[in-house]
A and B are shown apart, each in its own frame.
Chain A
Amino acid sequence: MSSRPELQSQPEIFYNDEEARKYTSSSCIIESQAQQSERDMELLALPDDGVPRLLIDIGIALEREVEGDLMLADMGQDEGFRPGVIDGAINISAVQWLCNADKTSHDPRLRLKAFFGSLYRCLTRGARAVLQVYPEKLAQRELILGFAMRSGFAGGVFVHNPHSTKKRKEYLVLNCGPPSLSAATPQGKREQEESCSDDEGSGDKENQTVYSSVCISGRQRPRKKQKITKKGNGREWVMKKKEQMRRREMSCLQIQNTKLKRKARF
């Protein structure tokens, strides 16, 4: 029997009281989730300009104390935010659930498309979404990445500890439109650690409010490029393209073995 949760049961059955309780009472799961959330927040690379931002955290445990409001929604459906209102989104290990059809009415492709589509729409220009993913296999990762790109996102996969089977974590870092000028690019290796400015003391709790959207009216979406059909040698050309994609994906995945230093941002 597979140990992967999403292969055992539907989420509303797998996460029964007992299982869900682990997320709110088991200290090592809490610790692990907290670490991953911190890493998500680092990868969000919010500019350090003191401007409060609204974020959404997708797929959190209900019983944990959170600042900010909660809402119950299905990731595979349009989440119902006004367009262009969210400054950033984080997510721990929930996207792969969309790849399974838990009901006969569920089509994983449509659900992935709805998820990334609605996520893209609700983010403001230049905002970033960081999703920690746990794909079962390469095809699933490609599927997830494909739908993200088709929804208009740019970005890629960031791998933490790629050589460790236990500690390896993959993060889908997606930008909605060109990144804002003040947003930092996630650094893989930080050999000379930047001085860790401790903002905790000055940070205002209210600035951490999780939820939401940034309202920018009249946002221009980048135009999708026109597809130019090339004349090729048919099958050979297709195989060559596939190989290129695979190589590109592999180099994208071999991103730094990093020990990201945790910055207190708020």
Chain B
Amino acid sequence: MRLLTHNMLSSNIKGVANGFPLRIEVEKVVEKQVDFNADFLKNMFAKIEWKALVDASRSMGYSELPGDANPSMLDSDDFLQKFHHALLELHLEEGALVCPETGRKFPVNKGIPNMLLHEDEV
């Protein structure tokens, strides 16, 4: 599971007011090389919650992203490379996503987060 996906996911438990972002508990991170595409990054930038991405990448062991970002930084190749790496090349293979309100853990196995809710959470 890449951080692009993590950035889109929110806790869906009934009654949770703000389930985003999910905290990451890391057991295994894998880095997979992905072709760099500046256009893709520039278009995705608007959709990303930046702070959540920064925090998530730090928990995965990558601290190169600046704490704040604005669209003017997209002109910098250095910034784009770091953005690319954090967004697309860091994969959470094993671990968990944790609801920020309830602490409930959604396990991640073989890169697939299990977001199935129990009966009482629906």
Contacts and interface: CB of A to CB of B under 8 A. Distances in A.
Interface of A: 50-52, 54, 62, 69-74, 77-82, 85-86, 105, 114, 118, 204-207, 209, 211-215
Nearest to B9: A80
Contacts of B9: 71, 80-82
B31 interface: no
A78 B5 contact: no
Interface of B: 1-2, 4-5, 8-12, 19-20, 34-35, 37, 39-40, 43-44, 46-49, 88, 111-117, 119, 122
A80 B11 contact: yes
Nearest to A124: B47
Contacts of A86: 8
A209 B39 CA distance: 14
17 contacts: A52-B39, A52-B44, A54-B8, A69-B2, A71-B115, A77-B122, A79-B12, A81-B9, A85-B47, A105-B119, A118-B12, A205-B35, A207-B40, A211-B5, A212-B5, A214-B47, A215-B48
A123 to B, nearest CB: 12
Contacts of B117: 74, 77-78
Nearest to B112: A70
A204 B115 contact: no
Given A73-B115, A211-B4, 4 more contacts: A81-B9, A82-B10, A85-B8, A212-B5
Contact of A213 (B1, B40, B47, B116): B47
Contact of B115 (A80, A105, A212): A80
A212 B45 CA distance: 14
Contacts of A209: 4
Main secondary structure of the interface of B (DSSP, over half): loop
A173 B28 CA distance: 40
A232 to B, nearest CB: 39
A78 B113 CA distance: 15
Contact of B47 (A54, A114, A204): A54
B116 A69 contact: no
* Nearest 5 CB-CB pairings of A with B: A215-B47, A80-B12, A78-B12, A69-B5, A73-B115
B112 to A, nearest CB: 5
Contacts of A82: 8-10, 20, 49
A212 B40 contact: no
Contact of B49 (A50, A54, A215): A215
Nearest to A81: B8
Name the residue in B46, B47, B88, B117 with the highest tally of chain A Cβ atoms < 10 Å from its Cβ. Answer: B47
A52 B10 contact: no
A62 B122 CA distance: 24
A61 to B, nearest CB: 13
A73 B112 contact: no
Contacts of A69: 1-2, 4-5, 111-112
B69 to A, nearest CB: 14
Nearest to A50: B39
Nearest to A209: B4
Contact of A204 (B4, B8, B37, B49): B37
Contacts of B19: 80
A81 B46 CA distance: 16
B43 A51 contact: yes
